[in-house]
Chains A and B, each alone.
Chain A
């Protein structure tokens, strides 16, 4: 029983095995690549070769339909690689630029009013919001003029600087409250995931800010703005989907909870 005997076509068993295998493959290929595609006229295939290529999985472009005119939405592209490794020079330039931000956002990046605390915020978040203010995807009477003349590099530098700052307690720290069910569990039936699954305590989705210690007034205003559709810079409506499904009591509860949390619990992004 040598290998030559086994692999020879004079061996009837070998002949049978190879023929049956080949037959099954060819027959199923004929059905799968020719018969079935061509039997579906609604696919609008351009002939036999198109049918075979489509069935094989060769990527085909499809004529895209014209989209109706868009209201301005965010043009920022975010991935885990966005602003991943800021240089010291970038942080230094950002420090200089940030001097004009201190008037509202505080010299240490901790706000004394209801503007957001920026100290230690994820760089991708700061980058995105500044870029959105600049493009008009997000509109605010105070922020829009500040952002209008910033270049891409300046925005990146500011983001790097604020991300680098230590996370300090809020100006008016509140006693920590227990989280309500909306924060801990979300509401699956309404399509709401737990806040922490994006906002850092469970996992950070690039572009989602951590919320601990932010002003309750600010958080509530943003959630309401998302819920009403007034704020539209969340990419593909992902926050509008959430906020719209929340009740006003839940919005208050979530805002109050996060405002009461110490910022130091936030885990850093690598």
Chain B
């Protein structure tokens, strides 16, 4: 029963779990640096163009931003609950939490699509026809598009990973308990949530007062 979950080169599930979780934390460390480079550039340009960044931040849609933040946080709750349930052997509950997580992730992407559409209708894309006169406002919007899009790609990968948990445990729910996959997927999902939590004040809360 456990042979499905145990992979080469490990000889027992405990070590496999320990290594998998160590590996995902290492990967998340590289992700911190990947996003960190962009956060540092954002900070530097915000320091150089403080007024333009506030004026540009005022143009983002705070309704989409805050609703999407709540959706993502609720999805993280379901992911955490699903992971705990999988480890505790409550497979039926876990297999309710995983689809809930994936659906909330998809809702985030759908709302993001509507938001992108609104932004494009207002020509808030750096280049010809960009409506904001302040020097540096286009740089804010360049960061907005690049960072939220990279976040959306991460989230899409996360949705795939969560769906995979559901599919892989279809015939053998016990797999959820033996494999480290639920925990590794959950760590990745929460990390994508963390990135959004930092993006939210930088893009949506700037220039509101």
Query: Do A and B interact with each other, yes or no?
Result: no
| B binding-site residues for A, Cβ under 8 Å | none
